[in-house]
Amino acid sequence: MSIFGSILSSIFHHAKAATPDSTTGATAAASAATPAGAPAEAAASATPPAGAPVNIDAVLSDMAAKNGQNLNWKESIVDLLKLLGLDSSLDSRKKLAGELGYTGDTNDSATMNVWLIKEVRQKLVENGGKVPAGL
């Protein structure tokens, strides 16, 4: 699974677990059937129906409260990846940047990281997430 696919899967799986409904079983089964090497589009099957956006801030705040670490996930791609239990290494972030179409210098990690956190938020919205304006 792509890195962004893993981000989507983690957030939307957590959202479904926190708010179970009649479609949870089907969504969980579809997610479990997604092979590890599947593209991000396959992970999008874990996204909610168009009329039911996932409140990204609420899901991540809940995860952070249960995490016990003081992570700045709202502003840091590294901390967001850590919160989700994903690899936050520079190599992993460079791969994520490639997946999302970053055209800048990946050796300038500060600039890339700022771009990544903004782009991940935008992609979450495009995939059925609701991100507050201040995030």
pLDDT higher than 90, residue 91: yes
Containing structural domain, residue 80: 3-130
Structure tokens at 131: 């991100």
- Tell me if 135 is assigned to some domain: no
- Tell me if 62 is assigned to some domain: yes
Residue 9 burial by CB count (10 A; 0-12/13-18/19+): exposed, middle or buried?
Answer: buried
Distance CA 133, CA 135 (A): 6
- Tell me if 74 is assigned to some domain: yes
Per-residue confidence (pLDDT) for residue 14, from 0 to 100: 79
Number of domains the chain contains: 1
Torsion of CA 71, 14, 44, 120, to 10 degrees: -10
**Confidence category of residue 5, pLDDT binned at 50, 70, 90:** very high
**Confidence category of residue 119, pLDDT binned at 50, 70, 90:** very high
